[in-house]
Structure 1
Amino acid sequence: MSNLLSSSSTRIKTGIALVLVILIIGYIDSYFVTWLFLGSLLIIAIKESTKLFHIQSTQLFIYSTVLWAVAYFYPEPEDLSFILGVIYASILAYTKTLNKKIFLPLFYPTVSFLFLLALYKDFGMQSLLWILVVVALTDTAAYFVGKSIGKTKFCQTSPNKTLEGVIGGIVFGSLIGSIFALSDLTFVEAFIISFVTSIASVFGDLFESYLKREAKVKDSGSFLPGHGGILDRTDGYLFASIIMLIALRVIS
């Protein structure tokens, strides 16, 4: 019992600290600060992903650091993931010695962080607040709805998830999340974007669960006491950021 209370206390303290950091960054609303913050998370997330993918590569950190530095100046940061992919493929074709597995962290989580940066660059801090609310509400509501009325297993990858919980999470995330949408969108547009973003966050969480099961680990890391690793806290956002940015560009 004492261990449970201690664990809960640590989780709450870490959660409060995270919220404070995010509020400060949101209040400052600086492109440089946001880029630096997301870049710091990316480096830690890449370290965690190498464990999940069972790879060790110093090259990966060098490529990702250079890529993120270029992303600061490049007008469409998400495009850089394709450039890096071309470079990887070219080196592989020329040397035949490049570890093919280092392509994996390019897609997860590097691409997603580039889309998060692009989301902020194109649509401002309000878009990051919006995605934060949608994903957080989807996850939280899914947990409570699943605990209260959930009976149908959602899938084998995550046996604790229920279909009822997932549906409840998407409904809450979409409806309430729409309130925090960009001001120039209609409610219908906001709801559609929130809806597809919410669905994407569910599968982002599911994908990380799959990777952890394949790697036979409970958490992606231990950077956040009581919460696990960076990927454990950002998994939903990593798919959601891609979908929200694309949806916003299509609708707005």
Structure 2
Amino acid sequence: MGKFEGQGTRFLTGAVLVAVVVAVGLIDNFFLIWLFLGIVYLFAFYEAMRLFNIAEHNHLYAYAAITWLLALFYPNPDDLFFLIAIVFASILAYTRDFDKRLFLPILYPTASFLFLLELYESFGVASLFWLLVVVALTDIGAYFTGKLAGRRPFCPTSPNKTLEGVVGGVLVATFTGFFAGSVLADWPQALLISLGTSVASIFGDLFESYLKREAGVKDSGDLLPGHGGILDRVDGYLFGGVVMVLLLRGLL
């Protein structure tokens, strides 16, 4: 058990986070879920601004808040990303000296949070539960498998992540996610969607690790004891949620 010593804070924070998410899901109210995701989004947006080294551009927070407010009323929240992209490109073309880095926090994490809200709007709270199960078990399965049997590094971006851990996490998440998704899809689709979402969550985690290495920081923030920042905790959902929406649309 020596490999797991000192992880009490991490496990406790994780348990509290899961309890909060489950409570919000059980209430199953659109406004509450919009509000909850919005709070998480704004913290994630703040951390992304720091990672992209554009934290001094405080006006972007107003744009982020306006975007999320529009998502409360607009029937297809994920479409708002394309509207924002057109506005950004139009400003860039008109001014010719607009800082292109300012689009980065609109791409990540804004687009992903809009897809998470769309996931709930189009497929209900059961889809969010499915996503939670797949991404959480990918992370947990990879952690424990890596601790117990990890030998080969997965890639240079995240040297602590092992190939054995990644495979173990994806297998655990895929087969458990299959049961969680069976209320929305037939078994072949549930299995495929769980697999795609699990693999996407691995690369969501990897992408955030890349951003942190580029920024020269260990964590995206320090809000969550034992986990770091908000992005450190939701990175897998930011890729997994997008892929789940696309697969649900394409396969159901």
Distance in 1 (CA, whole Å) between partners of 2:77 and 2:249 is: 15
Q: CA deviation at 1:40?
A: 0.6
Q: CA deviation at 1:24?
A: 1.5
Residue 240 (structure 1) aligns with: 240
Residue 173 (structure 1) aligns with: 173
8 A Cα contact 1:127 1:182, kept in partner:
no
Distance in 2 (CA, whole Å) between partners of 1:203 and 1:47 is: 21
Distance in 2 (CA, whole Å) between partners of 1:11 and 1:147 is: 15
Between 192-201 and 8-17, the greater mean CA deviation after superposition: 8-17
Residue 82 (structure 1) aligns with: 82
SS in 2 for 1:217: coil
Q: CA deviation at 1:120?
A: 0.3
User: What amino acid is aligned across from residue 88 of structure 1 in structure 2?
Assistant: F
Q: CA deviation at 1:147?
A: 1.9
8 A Cα contact 1:126 1:182, kept in partner:
no
Deviation by residue 1:26-67 (Cα, 9 ceiling, x = unmatched) = 111000000000011111101000110001212211111111
Distance in 1 (CA, whole Å) between partners of 2:7 and 2:162 is: 24
Q: CA deviation at 1:216?
A: 0.7
Distance in 1 (CA, whole Å) between partners of 2:40 and 2:151 is: 36
Deviation by residue 1:179-217 (Cα, 9 ceiling, x = unmatched) = 111514111110000000000000000000000011111
8 A Cα contact 2:127 2:184, kept in partner:
no
1:167 to 1:182, Cα distance in 2 relative to 1, 3 A: same
Residue 198 (structure 2) aligns with: 198
Q: CA deviation at 1:10?
A: 3.5
Q: CA deviation at 1:15?
A: 2.3
Between 112-121 and 8-17, the greater mean CA deviation after superposition: 8-17
Residue 29 (structure 1) aligns with: 28
Q: CA deviation at 1:9?
A: 4.2
Residue 127 (structure 1) aligns with: 127
User: What amino acid is aligned across from residue 34 of structure 1 in structure 2?
Assistant: I
Residue 219 (structure 1) aligns with: 219
Residue 18 (structure 2) aligns with: 19
8 A Cα contact 1:115 1:245, kept in partner:
yes
Q: CA deviation at 1:94?
A: 1.8
Q: CA deviation at 1:21?
A: 1.3
Identity, in percent, stands at 53
Distance in 2 (CA, whole Å) between partners of 1:172 and 1:8 is: 21
Structure 2 segments unaligned to the other structure (5+ residues): none
Q: CA deviation at 1:99?
A: 2.1
Residue 39 (structure 1) aligns with: 38
SS in 2 for 1:77: coil
User: What amino acid is aligned across from residue 87 of structure 2 in structure 1?
Assistant: I
SS in 2 for 1:181: helix
Between 46-55 and 219-228, the greater mean CA deviation after superposition: 219-228
Between 188-197 and 158-167, the greater mean CA deviation after superposition: 158-167
Between 17-26 and 211-220, the greater mean CA deviation after superposition: 17-26
SS in 1 for 2:61: helix
Residue 186 (structure 1) aligns with: 186
8 A Cα contact 1:173 1:198, kept in partner:
yes
- How many pairs align? 248
8 A Cα contact 1:92 1:98, kept in partner:
yes
Distance in 1 (CA, whole Å) between partners of 2:64 and 2:107 is: 12
Distance in 2 (CA, whole Å) between partners of 1:192 and 1:129 is: 17
User: What amino acid is aligned across from residue 77 of structure 1 in structure 2?
Assistant: P
Structure 1 segments unaligned to the other structure (5+ residues): none
TM-score normalised by length of structure 1: 0.94
Q: CA deviation at 1:223?
A: 1.4
Residue 54 (structure 1) aligns with: 53
User: What amino acid is aligned across from residue 141 of structure 1 in structure 2?
Assistant: G
Distance in 1 (CA, whole Å) between partners of 2:122 and 2:77 is: 10
Residue 105 (structure 1) aligns with: 105
Over the aligned positions, Cα root-mean-square deviation in angstroms equals 1.5
